[in-house]
Structure formats: C-alpha cells, structure tokens
Structure 1
C-alpha cells in the first residue's frame, strides 16, 4: 500500500491486479461451482451492479419487502475474487477493534439462495474451471471503451480500495496501454467474446442495449434463463432498475460505504451512453480511435459509443 493507503498494481499472470483480488487465489481457483450457479462477468464499470440487481429481482423479487432485502447487493451477489479486510468495534468501548476478513469465496459458499448469483470482473482466463465443468450459465456485459475509461477514472478517484488514478491525461494513456486494475479492456471483451464461440452457456450483452431498451433486453435474459415472469413482474423490474431508481436505492447504491469518497464522485454517477464526450479532448478522441482500430480485430464484435 502507498502512503495514503491506496493499493498498488502489480503484474499477476500478465494482468495488472491488486492484492485484494489475488490473496485468496488458491481458494478461488479451487472454487466448486454448482450447476445452477449464475455468473455475472464484466469489465469494471460496465453494468455489473445493474445486472446483478436485475437478476436478483428476477429470482428473489418476491422477498422485496421482507427483511432479507435489507442486504446490500454486494452481499446478495458477492464478488468471487474479492477479499475485504476491515475493523469492527469491540464489544465495549475499552476493547480493541476486531479485524474482519470477508472472502468472496466464503460469501458465495454461505449463500442460502438457489440459484447462487455470483459476480466477477476477472478476465476469462482466470475463471475457476468448475464453472465450465458444471456448464454454469454466464452473463457477460460489454460497454464501449470510451465510456468505460471515463467512468473508471471517476470511480478510481473516489474509491480508496482502488489504485490512485492520477490525472486524466495519464490515466487515459494507461487505460489504452492496459495498465489499470483487471488489465486491458480490449483483452477482456475479446477474451470473453472468443469464449462465447465455444461455450454455449454465455449470454453476451451490451450496456448500450440495456440503456436503449431495458424491457427488450430483460426478455432476452428471461429467455436465456428459461424464466417466464408475468407482464406485471417484468414491468416492475424494468422500473426498479432504471438509473434514477437505483441511485435512490440503498441496496444497490454504495455511497454510504466508508471506502467511497462521494464528495469526489458518487458511486452511481451518470449511467449514460456518450458521457465520454465531456472528458475527451479532440486530440484524445483522434488518438483513441486510431489505437482502437489497431486493437479491435474482430469485425463482428462492435460497440456503440452513442445511441
């Protein structure tokens, strides 16, 4: 950790990572998936919380007014690779704080729900092999790179669990070079896209499509999962997962967490397509477009920078 408590990146099997996501690696790789587990995979800031909440409502929405729904979404849909260390107050004012370690693998194994909903930001090569062996259904959400770098920069400014992003221009360059947490966006979206060609249980989605027509994409999700909610249930879910509704919802908005410096930027900032235009200079946009053309080789995999 550096002087202000921010984690530092290091090379981990050719992917920049921090210890928060690697210290439980052996348990992660030996994780035993179940056939009905559902994995939600995204690059950071591509809609993982959004889809997690959507699936949680689809499967467990009937408990929305019970005490169970008080749980934060990151406890209901744990991040498999994460390890959180923190201190809880002792039993009385004179006692020392109690160190707590929350491992994502333990949180998943302690879930009482069925199916278990699990989230990850890992590139496809790091996914535990049991997910493939058990033919688990997997969602992947891709988001255009320009909005990703914009959102990721603002997120890393406010999250003390992430490396210090520095200034915008240097971050912009590091993102293009793949020198950010969880590595290259290009490798991530292409790696999962390639896996989809040989593993039929991946539903590859796009953030921009979800924004454009949430109801249409929800129908596709239900078809993939073999679910048949009523028209009223679908309408209710579509309403609950709109950005403004989620921003007011303490189950999914993490602004209250001590690790989130919301005076710098809110956890749920804008949730729009095309906000990159408010950050990119003309020169940066031209540079990014040239770099993008070199890195994105698959003519079928296309992202929309605006809708």
Structure 2
C-alpha cells in the first residue's frame, strides 16, 4: 500500500450526513466498536479539529512521557502508531481502535478529531485527562485545504475558493469549525479534566505552553529535559523527522505538498483575497457566539 501509485490511485470518499455532522466512511465504518472503546483512567485523549496542531501536541506528550525511558521509540515507531487515531478505519492500515487497544504504553496517548458529542463515553466515565487544541479559523481553513488536496482519505476539495465556501458552510469532514471549537470549549466548563489550548499560544512560546501541559498532567521534567523536548518539537525539526512527518503513511501524496507544510500563524494572508477576508469576518461575527472564546489570527 505504501507505493506511490497506490497512494495516488485510491478513490476519494464522499461526505454524508452522520448524526448531523458531515463524515466519510473511513471514520464511521467501525462506529459501534469505537463507541464501545474501553478507556482507562490514565488514558490521555488529544482532541482537535483537523489540522489544528494534533501531531505537534501528540509529539510533545510522547516525548514528555517516553522520551527518556524509551528513546528508541523516537527513531523506530511513527507518531501515528504511537498515538493512534481512534476513529480511523482504513482497510489498508490497522484500525485506530485496534492500535489503541494494543498500545503497550502507560499512559496510552490517543487522538481524535471527533466533535465532543461523538467521543466514546468511557473517556468521561473514567475521568480521563483530555487535551483540546484549537487553531484560529483562517489558518485552520488554509491548512485543511492543503491537507484535503494531498490525502486520499478526504473528499475532493475543489479549488481554493470552493473549499473556502465549503469550510464556511461546515460542509467538510468533521463539519463546522465553529461547532467543534465551541462544543469543546463548553465541555471545559463542566469537565475539569480538560485542558484547552491554542495553536497560536504554542507557536508564540512553546516552552510556556509545555509548562502548562506539565502542570495539567502532573509532570515535572528537569529544565534540561524540557529544553530538549521544546527543541525537538520545533516545526523544522519535526518536518525533517520521518517518524513525525507522516512521510511513511499510506494515502498521502507528498508530490502535492508535505503533511507538515508551514506551521505558521498568519499564513492565511497568502491565500485570502480582500473580499474573502471581509466575507469571512462577517460570517465569523454571526457564527462565533461565545465571547469568552477568543482567537488570534496573527501573533
């Protein structure tokens, strides 16, 4: 499956409405099994809207927990096997649920792009720690567009202007960005074991955000080790790291673009026309109803 021809020739899936959220079969085929997933109290769930810093935070956590005790993991096991994608069910790779069930680590690090209402209930019942990463909508849209272009697991994105409209309308895989970030923000109010973080903050001062993560998780790494983690997760270092950059993952076409493209805050300015930016800002005012949830479009 990892040959380039197979990567490029996989048929694209179609979106369909699934309990009110646009999904594709790759993320719903194993629905019952995923919903019955048995979380353990020490599991850590990393949740994001797609392309909001999932791999970045996954890699930070993997280093914090296992960077010292199992350094060989860093050079031999790709991040998508160390931190399984719970709902992914692509017949060409082991299902995310099976990978998660068989993780040998404690804690198990598991990732999802589910909106909050789709999360298997055992995570809440076991009072698992959950880390949600949100990214400003403009950059998230741009990153998601490029990702849609290069991965065969997602529907055909069309050109930039048609994807822009689909994103505004919430007609993309996992649905509306607004519903996603707001739904998780609301959950934080009633579920204290949820740490909500922003991509822009992580970009601005990675060390500070790693400190906050450590505080949430009850970790106290040495200053020297923390510096090693912060250095290892810099974008350029991760982009070159074959175990972090998804270059070994089937179903992605790196001839179109890399999985880790730029990682910059404010790259939306290279894509949005003046009219698109104005239209977006109008739309944002209507849809972002919670004044306590604030994003920065540049830093």
TM-score by length of structure 1 reads: 0.93
- The match for 2:254 among 259, 262, 265 is 262
Shift of 1:263: 1.6
Q: How does 1:70-89 map to 2 (within 5 A)?
A: 70-86=76-92
- CA distance 1:164–1:215, change in 2 (3 Å): same
Shift of 1:66: 2.2
Q: What whole-Å deviation, never above 9, does each CA across 1:78-117 have from its counterpart, x for those lacking one?
A: 011111212xxxxxxxxxxxxxx52111111100100000
- The match for 2:295 among 294, 297, 303 is 303
Higher relative contact order (CA 8 A, sep 6+): 2
Aligned to 2:240: 248
Correspondence 1:288 to 2:280: yes
Q: How does 1:1-307 map to 2 (within 5 A)?
A: 5-63=11-69, 65-66=71-72, 69-86=75-92, 102-307=94-299
Aligned to 2:3: none
Q: What whole-Å deviation, never above 9, does each CA across 1:109-150 have from its counterpart, x for those lacking one?
A: 100100000000000000011111110000000000000110
Gaps of 5+ in 2: 1-8
CA contact (8 A) 2:148 2:157 kept: yes
Q: What whole-Å deviation, never above 9, does each CA across 1:158-204 have from its counterpart, x for those lacking one?
A: 11111110011111001000000010000000000000000000000
CA contact (8 A) 1:21 1:83 kept: yes
Shift of 1:4: 6.3
CA contact (8 A) 1:53 1:73 kept: yes
Structure of higher CA gyration radius = 1
- CA distance 1:65–1:129, change in 2 (3 Å): closer
Tell me how many residue pairs correspond in the alignment: 291
Q: Hey, what's the Cα distance between the residues in 2 that align with 1:67 and 1:282?
A: 46
TM-score by length of structure 2 reads: 0.95
CA contact (8 A) 1:63 1:69 kept: no
Tell me the secondary structure at the aligned position of residue 285 of structure 2: helix
- CA distance 1:75–1:271, change in 2 (3 Å): same
Shift of 1:256: 3.5
Q: CA RMSD in A?
A: 1.2
Shift of 1:276: 0.3
Extract structure 1 runs of 4+ deviating beyond 6 A. none
CA contact (8 A) 2:10 2:251 kept: no
Gaps of 5+ in 1: 87-100
